[in-house]
Chain A
Amino acid sequence: MQQIISFLLKNKNFLLYLFLLALSLIFTIQSHSYHRSKFVNSANFLSGGVYGTISNIQDYFKLKAENKILTEENARLREKLLEQTAYTSQETYPSTQSNEFAFLPAKVLKNSYSKTDNIITVKIGEKDSIHQDMGVITSKGIVGVIDITSNDYSTIISILNSTFQTSAKLKKSNHFGTLKWNGKDPHLVQVSDIQEQAPVAIGDTIETSGRSVIFPEGISIGTVEEKILDASNNFYTLSVRLINDMTDLGHVYIIKNRDLKEIEQLENTTAYE
Protein backbone atom coordinates (compact mmCIF):
# COMPACT_ATOMS: atom_id res chain seq x y z
CA MET A 1 0.00 0.00 0.00
CA GLN A 2 2.75 2.37 0.99
CA GLN A 3 4.56 1.53 -2.21
CA ILE A 4 1.50 2.34 -4.28
CA ILE A 5 1.09 5.70 -2.57
CA SER A 6 4.74 6.58 -2.97
CA PHE A 7 4.55 5.53 -6.62
CA LEU A 8 1.52 7.78 -7.13
CA LEU A 9 3.24 10.70 -5.41
CA LYS A 10 6.42 10.21 -7.37
CA ASN A 11 4.63 10.15 -10.71
CA LYS A 12 1.83 12.53 -9.90
CA ASN A 13 2.69 14.92 -12.72
CA PHE A 14 2.82 12.15 -15.29
CA LEU A 15 -0.48 10.71 -14.06
CA LEU A 16 -2.10 14.14 -14.09
CA TYR A 17 -0.80 14.58 -17.63
CA LEU A 18 -2.23 11.23 -18.73
CA PHE A 19 -5.58 11.93 -17.10
CA LEU A 20 -6.01 15.37 -18.70
CA LEU A 21 -4.71 14.04 -22.03
CA ALA A 22 -7.29 11.26 -21.99
CA LEU A 23 -9.98 13.85 -21.28
CA SER A 24 -8.95 16.04 -24.20
CA LEU A 25 -8.70 13.02 -26.50
CA ILE A 26 -12.26 12.05 -25.57
CA PHE A 27 -13.40 15.57 -26.51
CA THR A 28 -11.46 15.31 -29.76
CA ILE A 29 -12.93 11.96 -30.74
CA GLN A 30 -16.40 13.21 -29.89
CA SER A 31 -15.86 16.21 -32.12
CA HIS A 32 -15.04 13.95 -35.06
CA SER A 33 -18.33 12.09 -34.86
CA TYR A 34 -21.36 13.60 -36.54
CA HIS A 35 -23.22 14.94 -33.56
CA ARG A 36 -20.58 16.63 -31.56
CA SER A 37 -19.54 17.22 -28.00
CA LYS A 38 -22.21 18.76 -25.85
CA PHE A 39 -19.64 20.53 -23.65
CA VAL A 40 -17.03 22.03 -25.93
CA ASN A 41 -18.79 24.15 -28.53
CA SER A 42 -19.19 27.82 -29.33
CA ALA A 43 -22.98 27.92 -28.94
CA ASN A 44 -22.77 29.34 -25.44
CA PHE A 45 -23.08 32.60 -23.60
CA LEU A 46 -19.35 33.41 -23.39
CA SER A 47 -18.05 32.71 -26.88
CA GLY A 48 -21.35 33.68 -28.49
CA GLY A 49 -21.16 37.04 -26.74
CA VAL A 50 -17.55 37.68 -27.71
CA TYR A 51 -18.13 36.68 -31.33
CA GLY A 52 -21.31 38.80 -31.35
CA THR A 53 -19.35 41.90 -30.33
CA ILE A 54 -16.62 41.24 -32.90
CA SER A 55 -19.08 40.70 -35.71
CA ASN A 56 -21.02 43.84 -34.77
CA ILE A 57 -17.85 45.84 -35.42
CA GLN A 58 -16.93 43.95 -38.58
CA ASP A 59 -20.42 44.41 -40.01
CA TYR A 60 -19.86 48.11 -40.58
CA PHE A 61 -17.07 47.34 -42.98
CA LYS A 62 -19.16 44.82 -44.88
CA LEU A 63 -22.31 46.92 -45.27
CA LYS A 64 -21.65 47.76 -48.88
CA ALA A 65 -21.02 44.17 -49.95
CA GLU A 66 -23.99 42.93 -47.94
CA ASN A 67 -26.25 45.50 -49.63
CA LYS A 68 -25.08 44.34 -53.01
CA ILE A 69 -25.92 40.71 -52.20
CA LEU A 70 -29.39 41.74 -51.02
CA THR A 71 -30.08 43.77 -54.16
CA GLU A 72 -28.98 40.84 -56.29
CA GLU A 73 -31.26 38.53 -54.39
CA ASN A 74 -34.13 40.98 -54.72
CA ALA A 75 -33.65 41.06 -58.45
CA ARG A 76 -33.57 37.29 -58.65
CA LEU A 77 -36.71 36.93 -56.55
CA ARG A 78 -38.51 39.54 -58.64
CA GLU A 79 -37.63 37.56 -61.74
CA LYS A 80 -39.02 34.39 -60.17
CA LEU A 81 -42.20 36.18 -59.19
CA LEU A 82 -42.69 37.29 -62.77
CA GLU A 83 -42.13 33.76 -63.97
CA GLN A 84 -44.65 32.43 -61.52
CA THR A 85 -47.35 34.90 -62.48
CA ALA A 86 -46.73 33.95 -66.09
CA TYR A 87 -47.19 30.30 -65.11
CA THR A 88 -50.42 30.80 -63.20
CA SER A 89 -52.01 32.61 -66.08
CA GLN A 90 -51.47 29.54 -68.28
CA GLU A 91 -52.07 26.69 -65.85
CA THR A 92 -52.38 26.17 -62.12
CA TYR A 93 -48.94 26.20 -60.54
CA PRO A 94 -48.28 23.33 -58.10
CA SER A 95 -48.20 25.15 -54.79
CA THR A 96 -48.02 22.20 -52.39
CA GLN A 97 -44.24 22.24 -52.36
CA SER A 98 -43.68 25.87 -51.54
CA ASN A 99 -45.58 25.71 -48.26
CA GLU A 100 -43.62 22.82 -46.87
CA PHE A 101 -40.49 24.84 -46.06
CA ALA A 102 -40.09 28.07 -44.09
CA PHE A 103 -36.95 30.21 -44.12
CA LEU A 104 -35.60 32.03 -41.06
CA PRO A 105 -32.81 34.61 -41.49
CA ALA A 106 -29.79 34.49 -39.15
CA LYS A 107 -26.56 36.42 -38.74
CA VAL A 108 -23.20 34.63 -38.95
CA LEU A 109 -20.99 35.38 -35.93
CA LYS A 110 -18.06 33.10 -36.67
CA ASN A 111 -17.12 31.28 -39.83
CA SER A 112 -14.13 29.00 -40.34
CA TYR A 113 -12.96 27.32 -43.52
CA SER A 114 -9.27 26.54 -43.02
CA LYS A 115 -9.68 23.40 -40.89
CA THR A 116 -10.75 19.88 -41.79
CA ASP A 117 -13.89 20.13 -39.67
CA ASN A 118 -15.34 23.59 -39.99
CA ILE A 119 -18.09 24.96 -37.79
CA ILE A 120 -20.09 28.16 -38.22
CA THR A 121 -21.70 30.00 -35.30
CA VAL A 122 -24.92 31.98 -35.88
CA LYS A 123 -27.06 34.19 -33.69
CA ILE A 124 -30.34 32.33 -33.66
CA GLY A 125 -31.33 29.62 -31.23
CA GLU A 126 -33.98 27.57 -29.50
CA LYS A 127 -35.82 30.80 -28.72
CA ASP A 128 -36.67 30.99 -32.42
CA SER A 129 -37.49 27.25 -32.47
CA ILE A 130 -34.25 26.20 -34.14
CA HIS A 131 -33.38 22.54 -33.66
CA GLN A 132 -30.71 20.07 -34.63
CA ASP A 133 -30.66 18.88 -38.25
CA MET A 134 -32.21 21.90 -39.90
CA GLY A 135 -30.68 22.88 -43.24
CA VAL A 136 -28.84 26.17 -43.74
CA ILE A 137 -28.49 28.05 -47.05
CA THR A 138 -27.65 31.52 -48.34
CA SER A 139 -29.31 33.32 -51.20
CA LYS A 140 -26.77 31.64 -53.48
CA GLY A 141 -26.56 28.08 -52.26
CA ILE A 142 -26.09 25.44 -49.61
CA VAL A 143 -24.14 26.15 -46.37
CA GLY A 144 -24.64 23.30 -43.87
CA VAL A 145 -26.78 21.72 -41.16
CA ILE A 146 -27.61 22.95 -37.66
CA ASP A 147 -25.70 21.00 -35.03
CA ILE A 148 -25.90 22.27 -31.46
CA THR A 149 -28.32 24.91 -30.24
CA SER A 150 -28.47 27.02 -27.09
CA ASN A 151 -31.07 29.60 -26.21
CA ASP A 152 -29.63 32.37 -28.39
CA TYR A 153 -26.91 30.73 -30.49
CA SER A 154 -26.44 27.72 -32.74
CA THR A 155 -23.53 26.02 -34.42
CA ILE A 156 -23.71 24.79 -38.00
CA ILE A 157 -21.81 21.85 -39.47
CA SER A 158 -20.48 23.53 -42.60
CA ILE A 159 -20.37 21.65 -45.91
CA LEU A 160 -16.63 22.14 -45.40
CA ASN A 161 -16.64 19.48 -42.68
CA SER A 162 -15.49 15.89 -43.03
CA THR A 163 -18.62 14.60 -41.29
CA PHE A 164 -21.04 16.45 -43.56
CA GLN A 165 -22.80 14.46 -46.26
CA THR A 166 -25.89 15.07 -48.34
CA SER A 167 -27.50 13.91 -51.54
CA ALA A 168 -26.98 15.98 -54.71
CA LYS A 169 -28.15 15.69 -58.30
CA LEU A 170 -27.53 17.07 -61.76
CA LYS A 171 -29.82 19.94 -62.66
CA LYS A 172 -30.53 18.74 -66.18
CA SER A 173 -31.16 15.07 -65.38
CA ASN A 174 -32.09 13.17 -62.24
CA HIS A 175 -28.84 11.34 -61.57
CA PHE A 176 -28.00 11.30 -57.88
CA GLY A 177 -24.69 11.39 -56.06
CA THR A 178 -23.25 11.94 -52.58
CA LEU A 179 -21.82 15.32 -51.68
CA LYS A 180 -18.75 15.35 -49.41
CA TRP A 181 -15.68 17.49 -48.85
CA ASN A 182 -12.12 16.19 -48.97
CA GLY A 183 -10.81 18.84 -46.55
CA LYS A 184 -8.56 20.73 -48.95
CA ASP A 185 -9.86 23.62 -51.07
CA PRO A 186 -12.73 25.61 -49.49
CA HIS A 187 -14.07 26.39 -52.98
CA LEU A 188 -14.28 22.79 -54.22
CA VAL A 189 -16.48 19.94 -52.98
CA GLN A 190 -16.74 16.37 -54.28
CA VAL A 191 -19.81 14.57 -55.54
CA SER A 192 -19.25 10.81 -55.77
CA ASP A 193 -21.29 7.84 -57.01
CA ILE A 194 -22.77 9.49 -60.10
CA GLN A 195 -23.75 6.78 -62.59
CA GLU A 196 -21.40 6.44 -65.53
CA GLN A 197 -24.32 6.79 -67.98
CA ALA A 198 -25.19 10.24 -66.62
CA PRO A 199 -24.71 12.99 -69.19
CA VAL A 200 -22.19 15.07 -67.23
CA ALA A 201 -20.32 17.89 -68.89
CA ILE A 202 -17.86 20.39 -67.44
CA GLY A 203 -19.79 23.46 -66.32
CA ASP A 204 -23.04 21.64 -65.52
CA THR A 205 -24.96 22.78 -62.46
CA ILE A 206 -25.29 20.55 -59.38
CA GLU A 207 -28.16 21.10 -56.95
CA THR A 208 -29.72 19.45 -53.90
CA SER A 209 -31.86 16.45 -54.71
CA GLY A 210 -34.70 16.86 -52.25
CA ARG A 211 -34.23 13.26 -51.16
CA SER A 212 -33.56 14.27 -47.57
CA VAL A 213 -35.99 16.10 -45.33
CA ILE A 214 -33.30 18.68 -44.54
CA PHE A 215 -32.93 20.48 -47.87
CA PRO A 216 -35.71 21.16 -50.36
CA GLU A 217 -35.10 20.21 -53.97
CA GLY A 218 -33.30 22.59 -56.32
CA ILE A 219 -30.98 24.55 -54.05
CA SER A 220 -27.91 25.19 -56.15
CA ILE A 221 -24.54 23.86 -54.99
CA GLY A 222 -22.04 24.55 -57.75
CA THR A 223 -20.75 23.84 -61.21
CA VAL A 224 -18.81 20.78 -62.35
CA GLU A 225 -15.15 21.56 -62.77
CA GLU A 226 -13.66 18.12 -63.26
CA LYS A 227 -15.00 14.58 -63.66
CA ILE A 228 -13.06 11.44 -62.82
CA LEU A 229 -14.22 7.90 -63.62
CA ASP A 230 -13.46 5.47 -60.78
CA ALA A 231 -11.39 2.29 -61.14
CA SER A 232 -14.35 0.06 -61.89
CA ASN A 233 -15.56 2.45 -64.63
CA ASN A 234 -19.03 2.56 -63.09
CA PHE A 235 -19.18 5.83 -61.23
CA TYR A 236 -18.04 9.38 -61.69
CA THR A 237 -16.56 11.49 -58.94
CA LEU A 238 -17.16 15.13 -59.72
CA SER A 239 -15.16 18.05 -58.48
CA VAL A 240 -17.68 20.85 -57.98
CA ARG A 241 -16.87 24.55 -57.69
CA LEU A 242 -19.21 26.11 -55.11
CA ILE A 243 -21.38 29.01 -56.29
CA ASN A 244 -21.57 30.14 -52.70
CA ASP A 245 -18.31 31.64 -51.40
CA MET A 246 -17.94 29.80 -48.07
CA THR A 247 -15.09 32.09 -47.05
CA ASP A 248 -17.41 35.11 -47.05
CA LEU A 249 -20.70 34.53 -45.24
CA GLY A 250 -22.78 37.37 -43.82
CA HIS A 251 -26.38 36.29 -43.43
CA VAL A 252 -27.82 32.80 -43.86
CA TYR A 253 -31.28 31.27 -43.95
CA ILE A 254 -32.29 28.35 -41.74
CA ILE A 255 -34.73 25.99 -43.44
CA LYS A 256 -37.57 24.75 -41.33
CA ASN A 257 -39.46 21.74 -42.68
CA ARG A 258 -43.03 22.07 -41.49
CA ASP A 259 -43.83 18.46 -42.35
CA LEU A 260 -40.77 17.04 -40.55
CA LYS A 261 -42.73 15.58 -37.62
CA GLU A 262 -45.27 14.00 -39.92
CA ILE A 263 -42.56 12.47 -42.13
CA GLU A 264 -40.60 11.13 -39.16
CA GLN A 265 -43.72 9.64 -37.63
CA LEU A 266 -44.58 7.98 -40.90
CA GLU A 267 -41.08 6.58 -41.29
CA ASN A 268 -41.05 5.23 -37.75
CA THR A 269 -44.37 3.47 -38.06
CA THR A 270 -43.32 1.99 -41.41
CA ALA A 271 -40.08 0.73 -39.92
CA TYR A 272 -41.75 -1.04 -36.99
CA GLU A 273 -44.56 -2.75 -38.83
Chain B
Amino acid sequence: MNKKILIPVIQFVFLMLAQIIVFSAINLFGYINPYPYILFLLLFPFITSRSLLLVVAFVTGLIMDVFGDSGGIHAAACLTLAYLRPFALRIAFGVSYEYNAIRISNTSLYERFVYITILVGIHHFILFSLEVFNISSILYVFQKTLITSIFTILICVLFTIIFGNQKK
Protein backbone atom coordinates (compact mmCIF):
# COMPACT_ATOMS: atom_id res chain seq x y z
CA MET B 1 0.00 0.00 0.00
CA ASN B 2 2.78 2.37 0.93
CA LYS B 3 4.56 1.66 -2.30
CA LYS B 4 1.42 2.50 -4.24
CA ILE B 5 1.38 6.01 -2.82
CA LEU B 6 5.14 6.46 -2.83
CA ILE B 7 5.66 5.81 -6.54
CA PRO B 8 3.32 8.59 -7.78
CA VAL B 9 4.79 11.01 -5.23
CA ILE B 10 8.34 10.34 -6.42
CA GLN B 11 7.21 10.57 -10.04
CA PHE B 12 5.51 13.87 -9.28
CA VAL B 13 8.52 15.48 -7.58
CA PHE B 14 10.97 14.20 -10.19
CA LEU B 15 8.89 15.24 -13.21
CA MET B 16 7.96 18.66 -11.82
CA LEU B 17 11.56 19.51 -10.95
CA ALA B 18 12.78 18.24 -14.32
CA GLN B 19 10.10 20.34 -16.02
CA ILE B 20 10.83 23.56 -14.14
CA ILE B 21 14.62 23.35 -14.11
CA VAL B 22 15.36 21.72 -17.46
CA PHE B 23 12.48 21.43 -19.91
CA SER B 24 10.91 24.88 -19.42
CA ALA B 25 14.31 26.45 -20.05
CA ILE B 26 15.18 24.70 -23.31
CA ASN B 27 13.64 27.25 -25.73
CA LEU B 28 14.67 25.27 -28.79
CA PHE B 29 14.53 27.45 -31.95
CA GLY B 30 13.41 30.26 -29.67
CA TYR B 31 9.99 28.95 -28.73
CA ILE B 32 9.83 25.17 -28.28
CA ASN B 33 9.59 23.91 -24.72
CA PRO B 34 8.41 20.30 -24.32
CA TYR B 35 6.11 19.55 -21.37
CA PRO B 36 6.88 15.98 -20.23
CA TYR B 37 5.53 16.70 -16.72
CA ILE B 38 2.10 15.52 -17.97
CA LEU B 39 3.54 12.00 -18.00
CA PHE B 40 2.68 12.04 -14.30
CA LEU B 41 -1.01 12.33 -15.19
CA LEU B 42 -0.71 9.77 -17.99
CA LEU B 43 0.82 7.19 -15.63
CA PHE B 44 -1.25 8.08 -12.56
CA PRO B 45 -2.66 4.76 -11.24
CA PHE B 46 -5.47 3.64 -13.54
CA ILE B 47 -7.63 2.40 -10.68
CA THR B 48 -8.10 5.87 -9.14
CA SER B 49 -11.57 7.37 -9.24
CA ARG B 50 -12.14 9.99 -11.92
CA SER B 51 -12.95 12.70 -9.40
CA LEU B 52 -9.64 12.27 -7.61
CA LEU B 53 -7.78 12.31 -10.92
CA LEU B 54 -9.52 15.57 -11.88
CA VAL B 55 -8.51 17.25 -8.63
CA VAL B 56 -4.93 15.96 -8.88
CA ALA B 57 -4.70 17.20 -12.49
CA PHE B 58 -6.05 20.61 -11.56
CA VAL B 59 -3.54 21.04 -8.73
CA THR B 60 -0.65 19.81 -10.90
CA GLY B 61 -1.55 22.31 -13.61
CA LEU B 62 -1.94 25.13 -11.15
CA ILE B 63 1.54 24.49 -9.72
CA MET B 64 2.96 24.72 -13.24
CA ASP B 65 1.03 27.98 -13.72
CA VAL B 66 2.48 29.45 -10.53
CA PHE B 67 6.00 28.65 -11.71
CA GLY B 68 5.36 29.78 -15.26
CA ASP B 69 3.26 32.88 -14.46
CA SER B 70 0.68 31.71 -16.96
CA GLY B 71 -2.67 32.24 -15.23
CA GLY B 72 -4.65 29.01 -15.52
CA ILE B 73 -3.62 27.59 -18.87
CA HIS B 74 -1.83 24.50 -17.53
CA ALA B 75 -4.67 23.85 -15.08
CA ALA B 76 -7.28 23.93 -17.86
CA ALA B 77 -5.19 21.74 -20.19
CA CYS B 78 -4.34 19.15 -17.50
CA LEU B 79 -7.96 19.05 -16.37
CA THR B 80 -9.21 18.28 -19.86
CA LEU B 81 -6.48 15.68 -20.26
CA ALA B 82 -7.59 13.99 -17.04
CA TYR B 83 -11.25 14.12 -18.05
CA LEU B 84 -10.55 12.50 -21.41
CA ARG B 85 -8.03 9.95 -20.14
CA PRO B 86 -10.50 7.02 -19.89
CA PHE B 87 -11.52 7.57 -23.53
CA ALA B 88 -7.89 7.59 -24.63
CA LEU B 89 -7.23 4.40 -22.66
CA ARG B 90 -10.14 2.74 -24.46
CA ILE B 91 -8.91 3.86 -27.89
CA ALA B 92 -5.29 2.91 -27.30
CA PHE B 93 -5.59 -0.35 -25.40
CA GLY B 94 -8.82 -1.71 -26.83
CA VAL B 95 -12.42 -1.89 -25.64
CA SER B 96 -11.97 -5.01 -23.59
CA TYR B 97 -9.28 -3.78 -21.27
CA GLU B 98 -9.84 -3.66 -17.54
CA TYR B 99 -8.47 -0.80 -15.54
CA ASN B 100 -6.76 -3.10 -13.06
CA ALA B 101 -5.03 -5.29 -15.56
CA ILE B 102 -3.15 -2.56 -17.40
CA ARG B 103 0.45 -1.75 -16.73
CA ILE B 104 2.24 0.71 -18.94
CA SER B 105 5.40 -1.42 -18.91
CA ASN B 106 3.46 -4.43 -20.22
CA THR B 107 1.90 -2.67 -23.20
CA SER B 108 3.35 -2.72 -26.66
CA LEU B 109 5.31 0.27 -27.85
CA TYR B 110 2.70 1.06 -30.50
CA GLU B 111 -0.22 1.13 -28.00
CA ARG B 112 1.80 3.27 -25.64
CA PHE B 113 2.65 5.65 -28.46
CA VAL B 114 -1.02 6.03 -29.49
CA TYR B 115 -2.11 6.62 -25.89
CA ILE B 116 0.55 9.30 -25.28
CA THR B 117 -0.01 10.97 -28.66
CA ILE B 118 -3.77 11.42 -28.18
CA LEU B 119 -3.48 13.01 -24.75
CA VAL B 120 -0.40 15.11 -25.47
CA GLY B 121 -2.09 16.49 -28.58
CA ILE B 122 -5.22 17.48 -26.63
CA HIS B 123 -3.21 18.97 -23.77
CA HIS B 124 -0.93 21.02 -25.99
CA PHE B 125 -3.72 22.32 -28.21
CA ILE B 126 -5.69 23.65 -25.23
CA LEU B 127 -2.50 24.95 -23.62
CA PHE B 128 -1.39 26.98 -26.63
CA SER B 129 -4.90 28.17 -27.58
CA LEU B 130 -5.24 29.67 -24.11
CA GLU B 131 -1.68 30.99 -24.10
CA VAL B 132 -1.96 32.81 -27.42
CA PHE B 133 -5.63 33.67 -26.70
CA ASN B 134 -6.21 35.15 -30.11
CA ILE B 135 -8.42 33.50 -32.74
CA SER B 136 -6.62 35.21 -35.62
CA SER B 137 -3.38 33.43 -34.66
CA ILE B 138 -4.97 29.99 -34.96
CA LEU B 139 -2.36 28.86 -37.50
CA TYR B 140 0.42 29.80 -35.10
CA VAL B 141 -1.35 27.74 -32.40
CA PHE B 142 -1.52 24.70 -34.69
CA GLN B 143 2.12 25.09 -35.64
CA LYS B 144 3.25 25.39 -32.03
CA THR B 145 1.04 22.48 -30.97
CA LEU B 146 2.40 20.22 -33.69
CA ILE B 147 6.09 20.94 -33.19
CA THR B 148 6.00 20.94 -29.38
CA SER B 149 3.89 17.74 -29.33
CA ILE B 150 6.53 15.89 -31.32
CA PHE B 151 9.18 16.70 -28.73
CA THR B 152 6.94 16.00 -25.74
CA ILE B 153 5.83 12.64 -27.17
CA LEU B 154 9.42 11.65 -27.90
CA ILE B 155 10.55 12.47 -24.37
CA CYS B 156 7.52 10.77 -22.78
CA VAL B 157 8.02 7.55 -24.76
CA LEU B 158 11.72 7.58 -23.90
CA PHE B 159 10.93 8.05 -20.21
CA THR B 160 8.51 5.12 -20.19
CA ILE B 161 11.11 2.93 -21.90
CA ILE B 162 13.96 3.94 -19.58
CA PHE B 163 12.07 3.82 -16.29
CA GLY B 164 9.39 1.29 -17.20
CA ASN B 165 11.54 -1.84 -17.28
CA GLN B 166 12.99 -1.48 -13.81
CA LYS B 167 9.61 -1.74 -12.14
CA LYS B 168 9.16 -5.47 -12.85
Which residues of A pack against B, CB within 8 Å?
Answer: 12-14, 16-17, 20-21, 23-32, 36-37, 40-42, 44, 46-47, 50-51, 54, 112-117, 119, 121, 155, 183-186, 247
Contact = CB atoms under 8 A, between A and B. Distances in A.
Contacts of B36: none
Given A17-B80, A115-B131, 18 more contacts: A23-B58, A24-B61, A24-B75, A24-B76, A28-B73, A36-B71, A40-B65, A40-B69, A40-B70, A40-B71, A47-B66, A50-B67, A51-B67, A112-B24, A155-B69, A183-B132, A186-B30, A247-B30
A51 to B, nearest CB: 8
B50 A32 contact: no
Given A50-B20, A114-B27, A28 B133 contact: yes
A114 B61 CA distance: 19
Nearest to A155: B69
Contacts of B68: 42, 112, 115
Contacts of B65: 27, 40
B142 to A, nearest CB: 15
B72 A28 contact: yes
B143 to A, nearest CB: 11
Nearest to B28: A114
B51 A27 contact: no
19 contacts: A12-B51, A13-B51, A21-B80, A24-B61, A24-B76, A27-B65, A27-B72, A28-B72, A28-B76, A28-B130, A31-B72, A40-B66, A40-B70, A41-B69, A42-B66, A113-B30, A116-B131, A116-B132, A247-B30
Chain A CB within 10 Å, residue with most, of B54, B61, B140: B54
Given A20-B54, A20-B79, A24-B62, A32 B133 contact: yes
Given A24-B76, A28-B76, A40-B72, A116 B133 contact: yes
Contacts, number: 111
Interface in B29-47: 30-33
B83 interface: yes
A54 B23 CA distance: 13
Given A24-B79, A32-B133, A115 B30 contact: no
B101 interface: no
Nearest to A113: B27
B80 A114 contact: no
